[in-house]
């Protein structure tokens, strides 16, 4: 039984000894990265494929008649045509819940960076601004206290729940856009519609999957609903947001700021308008990748493959 990992590098270097655990389960080959024109060549003959961001569309799946299992090395699986896989009898499994705490931590790292400007002030101190100050302190901009503000969560899965709990612990009021009934939410949380959330929340944090319905949902109209002191956080998927529309409201100072860990193109094109937008902090899709989260991802991926080889697949998404 042949298993091919198409892009292992973002998890661990392909020379890392941990990968040997997969060789105990199958005839294992691993590549650091795989360009689209090499997918079929490298995957031919494989019954199982592991992929993080290498796309497996309907045509590719059809070209691999021996393929029976696709293991996505992430929670989101939009890079796989799951319907085409189902029709071809291919099981698709993902890695649920491995990065919940890691992503939630990054949400508040971004939020606090925007509000408190910790890095900016630390750089100023290193540059001698405090030493040259006539007073015991100096302040270069106004900054908000989070307690008492409304924190809006779009999507109430594992990550959304964890983020909401942290916001509540900081003394914030939590409002949620979710398909769940309000009586299913923790005490004190309010269920609201999406437009109402954007018009009332001081912070809007996106935690929904990328689908045909959610793509571009944060558009110019919805951004226009936000308050001037509002902050947008996106650690979910870049295409949820119209990047030009967000850059426009930031540059016009119609909202306070944005913290983003994801963009529409990754890595971004040099022309991406958000790279130069005012009060926009961007990190390189790193929220998932704490040491502990990557260890959990690896262990779940290994268990997924083992379960499939034993005829009892788990974490099946199609």
With 0-12 CB in 10 A as exposed, 13-18 as middle and 19+ as buried, what is 253?
exposed
d(CA 73, CA 11): 8
9 catalytic, yes or no? no
Strands in 23-101 per DSSP E: 27-30, 48-51, 69-72, 91-93
269 catalytic, yes or no? no
- Cα distances from 16 to residues 64, 152, 186, 286, in angstroms, run 28, 40, 43, 20
Which candidate in 119, 120, 266, 292 is catalytic?
Answer: 266
Neighbouring CB atoms inside 10 A of 145's CB total: 10
Which candidate in 237, 243, 294, 296 is catalytic?
Answer: 237
Residue 157 φ then ψ, to 5°: -85, -160
285 catalytic, yes or no? yes
* DSSP H or E run through 297: helix 291-309
Which candidate in 207, 285, 294, 296 is catalytic?
Answer: 285
Residue 134 structure tokens? 């006539």
Beta strands across the sheet bearing 150-154: 190-191, 173-177, 150-154, 203-206, 231-234, 257-260, 280-282
Which amino acids are annotated catalytic? 237, 266, 285
């Amino acid at each position: 039984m042949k298993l091919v990992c198409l892009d292992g590098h973002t998890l661990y270097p392909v020379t890392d000894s941990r990968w040997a655990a997969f060789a105990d389960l199958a005839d294992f080959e691993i590549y650091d990265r795989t360009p689209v024109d090499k997918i079929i060549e490298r995957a031919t003959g494989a019954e199982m494929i592991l992929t993080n961001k290498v796309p497996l569309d309907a045509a590719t799946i059809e070209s691999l008649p021996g393929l029976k299992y696709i293991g996505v090395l992430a929670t989101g699986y939009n890079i796989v045509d799951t319907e085409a896989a189902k029709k071809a009898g291919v099981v698709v499994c993902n890695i649920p819940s491995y990065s919940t705490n890691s992503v939630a931590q990054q949400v508040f790292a971004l939020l606090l960076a925007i509000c408190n400007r910790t890095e900016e002030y630390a750089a100023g101190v290193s540059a001698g601004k405090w030493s040259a100050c006539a007073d015991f302190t100096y302040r270069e901009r106004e900054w908000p206290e989070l307690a008492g503000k409304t924190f809006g969560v779009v999507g109430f899965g594992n990550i959304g729940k964890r983020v909401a709990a942290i916001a509540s612990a900081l003394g914030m009021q939590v409002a949620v856009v979710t398909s769940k009934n309000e009586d299913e939410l923790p005490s004190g949380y309010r269920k609201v519609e999406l437009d109402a959330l954007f018009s009332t929340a001081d912070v809007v944090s996106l935690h929904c999957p990328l689908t045909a319905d959610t793509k571009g949902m944060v558009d110019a109209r919805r951004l226009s609903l936000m308050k001037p002191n509002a902050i947008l956080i996106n650690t979910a998927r870049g295409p949820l947001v119209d990047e030009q529309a967000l850059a426009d409201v930031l540059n016009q100072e119609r909202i306070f700021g944005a913290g983003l860990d994801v963009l529409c193109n990754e890595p971004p094109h040099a022309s991406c308008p958000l790279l130069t937008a005012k009060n926009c902090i961007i990190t390189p899709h790193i929220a998932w990748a704490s040491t502990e989260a990557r260890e959990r991802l690896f262990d779940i991926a290994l268990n997924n493959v083992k379960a499939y080889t034993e005829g009892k697949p788990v974490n099946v998404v199609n």
